[in-house]
Structure 1
Amino acid sequence: RALNERMTHLYRLELQKVMGTYTERRLDHAQNLWRRWANAECEFRNGPPDWQNAAWSTRQDDCLSGMIRSRIAQLDGFLHCSGATCPPK
């Protein structure tokens, strides 16, 4: 939960930075697709959902945590980018 909150916080900060530009729409679209992809990727790795199986739930949570950590690093990079390292506006 804390990781998800951190990711959401960074996403909102980046969204504020690009508010009112075409980049705002692209970022919003990318974040929505990223969430769908992360869930699908972890389900692919762990097999179909089996909410009665504690081991499956743990693997799924671990997978999503790893995905969120990677996304946090990406969003943090966007926030602190300069010049050519920034996404195009």
Structure 2
Amino acid sequence: MDNNSIINRNNNDTNKHINYRQPMYLTRSSSILYQILNKTLDYSIKKKDEKQFINVRLQLLDQQYCLEMDRQLWQSYLDIG
């Protein structure tokens, strides 16, 4: 089983428990994302493992951001009363 399928399985399990919606840049064609990154980083991302690493990291960073926003929201509810 490769890392991507493990991450996707974990993401599906996580999505069942929280209302998580992936951002557009993760749902669109990944080739466009890699083109933008190639230009921005001035580095050619060609290897499959590099692309997979970037994709998995972006998914994890996005999920972390969403969880942090949820945490801050619930903390504000607690602070209010």
TM superposition score normalised by structure 1? 0.46
TM superposition score normalised by structure 2? 0.49
Larger Rg: 2
